[in-house]
Structure 1
Amino acid sequence: MAYIEDHSANGTFVNGERLEKGRKCPLTHNAEIALSLPHNKVFVFSDLMEDSLQSEYPKELRDKYIISKTLGRGACGEVKLAFDRSTYHKVAIKIINKRRFAADVLPDNDKPFNEKTEVEILKKVDHPCLIKIKDFFEGEDFYIVLELMKGGELFDRVLRPARLSEATCKLYFYQMLLAVQYLHKHGIIHRDLKLENVLLSSPEETCLIKITDFGQSKILGETSLMKTLCGTPDYLAPEVQDGTAGYGRSVDCWSLGVILFMCLSGYPPFSDKNKNTRLSLKEQISRGDYFYCAERWKHVSKEAFDLVQKLLTVDPDKRLKLEAALEHPWLQDEGMKRTFRQLLAQAQAPLPAPEAPPPPPGGRKRRRAREEAEGPRPQPCKAPRAPPPS
């Protein structure tokens, strides 16, 4: 058993819990050690006896990455924290469970998840507000290696007791619009935009966002319409539920409207748990009958609510398009755009070269003491100087 003992002046934390000074604490596999402050994480303890657990992953994956703890779980599988063996940089590995979909009798283009489509899209896209793929492996399951977003899901931030400020909502939503606009220009409809699929680059409130999870996305021609029922029910556009006439890019605009509604108010516009209506979830969405709580909206500007209304328009032909949303008065905020550009510049700046570590304190004293104990060292012989020319 490995232990850690605190001898510091500033405090040592293991998995967020502070150690009592002078007390020992046993370390378990993947324990996170922080110094001075609980969020100042500097070490992850890896128990070599646990290496047998790595054998369940493909050898090619294990040769490049050390797989660590689970970050989250979903319908398709789970997401693991991992470390690049060459750099020790953190990454996220999305593991798609093949067996879960083995009995799926739907045709390939209608399955609820298509790993080949997701990898194809991730390799194709290149935008600062879209998640980037680093590697892909296939074994008993599919393994998609992605950049790690340290701030987690937007869903968790929206559900906090402390509401997001309108300024923060604006910064996040502006980035979402830019990302989805990029996808649409490249003929890609996401089809599953939701709070859980918006990731944050930092625990800080002012940060970059990235859209992820392209498992239900569709690559389309210019005139294509789809009829597959995809997406998460609370975020589904009315025309998707109808399923008769087909649908196009505007489904993503509706989902963005639902996301903005929740960011600004802290609750969903449509829900089968809503006690204020007798309508089913499908009826609420088909009528565009969202629940309005005046108390939650009284501090939100009229311009922000106007954008929400125009995105949650039932008729897809009358629904606000992405280009028009980007031109909406609420988003004509130069301060917000300047903040976005600054965050982008910081994220794209190259990392500084590591500095040489300073000499350990007391090193000279120890060296002098060693020299005194060992006695004088023999000096190298010096050749006699030649006499100066006469």
Structure 2
Amino acid sequence: MNGNKVRRRVGKYEVGRTIGEGTFAKVKFAKNSETGEPVAIKILDKEKVLKHKMVEQIKREIAIMKLIKHPNVVRLYEVMGSKTKIFIVLEFVTGGELFDKIVNHGRMKEDEARRYFQQLINTVDYCHSRGVYHRDLKPENLLLDICGNLKVSDFGLSALSRQVRDDGLLHTTCGTPNYVAPEVLNDRGYDGSTADLWSCGVILFVLLAGYLPFDDSNLMNLYKKVSIVPIFGLLFSYSMMDVCLLDMLLYVQISDAEFTCPPWLSFGAAKLITRILDPNPMTRIMIPEILEDEWFKKDYKRPVFEEKDDTNLDDVDAVFKDSEEHHVTEKKDEEQPAAMNAFELISMSKGLNLGNLFEIEQEFKRETRFTSRCPANEIVSKIEEAVKPLGFDVHKKNYKMKLENVKAGRKGNLNVATEVFQVAPSLHMVEVRKAKGDTLEFHKFYKNLSTRLKDVVWKTEDDMHDDNNQG
């Protein structure tokens, strides 16, 4: 982005590297060319959105983020559209995920965990007061800004109060299994506010314990030696059996609230967690009671901020219109590898990296990088040569590659995205990122790839990290 050519420009934003990727969207680092402010741009393909009938869901997500203006929520700056794309411009949060702290340093002390939990409860309370229920509160959706303050993100599964049916309940089963309330799983309707609070309770448990209260990771030992078993009168293969049994056993754990607080928790913390993780939503503690809880109240400060009532939803509808007058200008120039500026390099460092996972394979990352002194074209060719014998189809576009394993793994086909960036005229950085599939399989793939690229790799990310520590 500081090179001779801008790789891509959308309106007033210079667009850089990919920092996140999902089924229907990519999130890219960008810079406001007028102010120099870094932002994140979520880019959605209009054709996919229309094909999968997601227009209303996308409109709802944008409307909710415009409605929620809280210091602990990722800010939405603006929404733009082109003939083929939708661009959602968001605050660029540089502090990483809250749970990077757990991955890197283990469980938190109670004072530290309490501060984050207080910010989370304040944010959820604010959302509920605006008739918004998040429905997917989990570690990956809790970020930290540069000052260490919590930022709740990803309102893609959120619901508005107008979605409540005549019985006063929501009925869409959604969320991440380990964090979902039991009433959401039983498919008889649920209250969005109490369901969100359950997820908050799981998050507090993980902050203080360092592990999940409901986890299927050790249930595999129950049937590792069995190859085929009958379930509901049908025969399932080993892999299908894994999924079915794990889901059923996890469901039982959550429905009965089968968990035990670790012995190092104070009585006050354990008592609060137990009251939140009450499987009966009718007797589960509510936010007004949490605000009065003695453990919660310690050093508590309610956030003070100015709320502007200037929500305008005109651009939400405009991005889906085909009229040229509503389209933002896109300019592309990808003849050279994208150049990296200093801010982007800093944002890739381990302390600010948004890519750490919080899951069973905590020691494995979903993205990694290496530097090379080889020309960019040669790097791309060498990667292609290396991955084809490993069973990957290769799709190239300039200095980006999408690698798809033709053989399905335990979480579907492993898809890997790579991109070559120019750091200096004779130095390139290569990012290798899991786009889809299992993290453990990605880790094994990268080990094989790095072995095959010995003549290309100059330094790995770990080498660069060691150099920084020595410096």
Q: SS of 2:31's equivalent? A: strand
Q: Does residue 179 of structure 1 match 2:123? A: yes
Within 5 Å, give how 1:42-53 maps onto structure 2.
46-49=2-5, 51=6, 53=7
What CA deviation, in whole Å up to 9, does each residue of 1:73-104 have, x standing for no partner?
34542322111111111111122344555553
- The yes-or-no answer on 1:54 pairing with 2:8 is yes
Farther-moved stretch of structure 1 (149-158 vs 230-239): 149-158
Distance 1:99 1:282, change over 3 A: farther
Q: Could you tell me how far 1:310 is from its partner in structure 2? A: 1.0
Q: Relative contact order: is structure 1 or structure 2 higher (C-alpha 8 Å, sep ≥ 6)?
A: 2
Q: Which amino acid aligns with 2:38?
A: K
Partner of 1:289: 258
Identify the match of residue 84 of structure 1 among 20, 32, 47.
32
Report if aligned partners of 1:250, 1:316 keep a CA contact under 8 Å in 2: yes
Query: By how many angstroms is 1:264 displaced?
Result: 0.9
1:117 to 39, 42, 60: 60
Cα distance in structure 1, aligned partners of 2:109 and 2:285: 24
2:294 maps to which residue?
329
Q: Quick one: distance in 1 between partners of 2:218 and 2:85? A: 38
3-state SS of 1:249 partner: helix
Q: Distance in 1 between matches of 2:186 and 2:85?
A: 34
Query: Comparing 240-249 with 310-319, which one deviates more in the overlay?
Result: 240-249
**Alpha-carbon displacement from aligned partner over 1:177-228 (angstroms, at most 9, x marks no partner):** 00100111111111111111111012x6xx2111111111111148731111
Change (3 A) 1:246 1:282: same
1:311 to 276, 287, 294: 276
> What is the CA–CA distance in structure 1 between the aligned matches of 2:267 and 2:201, rounded to whole Å?
15
Deviations 1:249-275 (A, max 9, x none): 210000101111111111111122234
Which residue number corresponds to residue 388 of structure 2? none
Aligned length: 277
1:304, 1:94 → 2: CA distance?
38
1:94 aligns with 2:94: no
Q: Deviations over 1:21-66 (max 9, x none)?
A: xxxxxxxxx6xxxxxxxxxxxxxxx3334x3x416xxxxxx22111
Does structure 1 conserve the Cα–Cα contact (< 8 Å) formed by 2:107 and 2:206? no
Rounded to whole Å, the distance in 2 between the matches of 1:137 and 1:66 is: 14
Matched, 1:132 2:86: no
1:209 counterpart residue number? 150
- Alignment match of 1:266 (pick from 210, 228, 235): 210
Task: Identify the residue that residue 365 of structure 1 maps to in structure 2.
Answer: none
For each residue in 1:332-354, what CA deviation from the matched residue of structure 2 results, as whole angstroms up to 9, or x when unmatched? 213x539x77xx89xxxxxxxxx
- Decide whether aligned partners of structure 1 residues 160 and 119 sit closer, same or farther in structure 2, where only a CA change above 3 A counts: same
1:117 maps to a residue whose letter is: R
Over aligned residues, Cα RMSD in angstroms? 2.6
User: Corresponding residue for 1:68?
Assistant: 16
Q: Is residue 285 of structure 2 the alignment partner of residue 320 of structure 1?
A: yes
Larger deviation, residues 298-307 vs 114-123: 298-307
2:80 is paired with a residue whose SS is: strand
What CA distance in whole angstroms lies between the structure 2 residues aligned with 1:298 and 1:128? 34
Mapped contact 1:224–1:248 kept (Cα < 8 A)? no
Distance 1:79 1:156, change over 3 A: farther
How do 1:7-18 and structure 2 match up within 5 A? none
Identify if the C-alpha distance between structure 1 residues 118 and 172 changes in structure 2 by more than 3 Å, giving closer, same or farther: same
Label 1:98 to 1:337 Cα distance change in 2 as closer, same or farther (>3 A).
same
Structure 2 partner of 1:195: 139
Structure 2 residue matching 1:179: 3-state secondary structure: helix
Three-state SS of the structure 2 residue aligned to 1:171 is helix
Alignment partners' CA distance in 1, 2:39 and 2:265: 37
Q: Is 1:298 aligned to residue 263 of structure 2?
A: yes
Distance 2:265 2:183 in 1: 29
Q: Is the Cα–Cα contact under 8 Å of residues 66 and 76 in structure 2 kept in the other structure? A: yes
Structure 1: gaps spanning 5 or more residues = 1-29, 31-45, 56-61, 346-390
TM-score, normalised on structure 1? 0.65
Query: Is 2:170 the partner of 1:226?
Result: yes
Q: Structure 2 counterpart of 1:225, which letter? A: L
